[in-house]
Amino acid sequence: MDIAALLTSALFVGGVVLALQIADAVGAVLDARRQRPGHDGEPSDPDTLTRRRVRELSWTVVVTAALAVLVAFGVDSAARLVWDRDRPVVGALILLGLTLLTFAIGIAAIVAVVRRERPTYARIRRDLRDRASITLDRDELAEFDERVERADRLRVRRSQGANVLRAFGVAILLALVVLAAYLFPVGVTLGFVAAALLGVAAFVVALRSHAVAAAALDAVLEAQRAEVMALLERARIPARGRVPGLGNRVARALAILREQQK
């Protein structure tokens, strides 16, 4: 077993995971700070809480840096195979693999940052407002109901997915500590232990900050969802006949929701 190569790989993987954990903690803290009220005691624009990109951007920076190191190491290894060991085919295959890996990671990063918005209550609300003067048929109403259900599922899945990724990062750091304890000197093991402790601290900070941000975000999403349901209720009125007083009740409910979001 090549201990030197294994140590290099462990240090690289541990460094990338730790950087991702720290970037996630910093992003969570920034999101939590955005929930604080302004100088006038009123919260900032609620809808901006649903358009967060701090985590995606910070993770993209970390992944790009890690990819640059990996490419540099691969190019150096391929050059040694070509010039020192006279193995051009193997060197070319390494370069081809690095090119494909770089392309795949780059595409994934671009999709993560500039991907089209998934179904959200704000988009559904906007589309319903645009069609406020148009009578929706049954198929269109069914389509809006399906979009609301998809937004509900996305809301639950997004909250669960973030915690799973954080826990997975901590598990990798702890596994590296166990590996270091069996294979590497005591000084190296202590370094991995320190990195794991820092990763656990970042995990705790991210969880606490995420709880603060999630509470404010849930309040905004719940208000948006209530307004969407009120708009859908209004849109169904022409399809089933007029109900005395229902239109006025829906209009008052929408006015109250807009006042609460100011």
State how far the Cα of 191 lies from the Cα of 183, in Å rounded to an integer.
14
Instruction: Report the pLDDT value the prediction gives residue 194, as an integer from 0 to 100.
Output: 94
Distances (CA, A) of 16 to 25, 195, 225: 14, 11, 38
Q: Which residues touch 72 (CB under 8 Å, ≥6 apart)?
A: none
Instruction: Report the pLDDT value the prediction gives residue 82, as an integer from 0 to 100.
Output: 83
> HEC profile for 206-232?
HHHHHHHHHHHHHHHHHHHHHHHHHHH
Helix axes 138-183, 3-33, angle to 10 degrees: 140
Question: Can you read off the two tokens belonging to residue 212?
Answer: 């603060």
User: Measured on CA atoms in the order 238, 239, 244, 249, is the torsion positive or negative?
Assistant: negative
Predicted confidence (pLDDT) per residue in 64-115, tens digit = 778 888 888 888 888 888 888 888 888 889 889 888 988 887 787 677 666 5
> CB-hemisphere CA count at 13 Å for 48?
10
Instruction: Report the pLDDT value the prediction gives residue 40, as an integer from 0 to 100.
Output: 43
Predicted TM-score of the model (pTM): 0.64
What 8-state DSSP symbol labels residue 235? Answer: H
State how far the Cα of 40 lies from the Cα of 43, in Å rounded to an integer.
8
State how far the Cα of 77 lies from the Cα of 91, in Å rounded to an integer.
8
Instruction: Report the pLDDT value the prediction gives residue 234, as an integer from 0 to 100.
Output: 81
Q: Where are the domains of the chain?
A: 3-261
Which positions of the chain have pLDDT values less than 70? 1-2, 34-56, 109, 112-119, 133-134, 158-161, 238-251, 253-254, 257-262
Torsion-angle region of 86 (φ positive above 0: left; ψ -120 to 50: alpha; else: beta): left
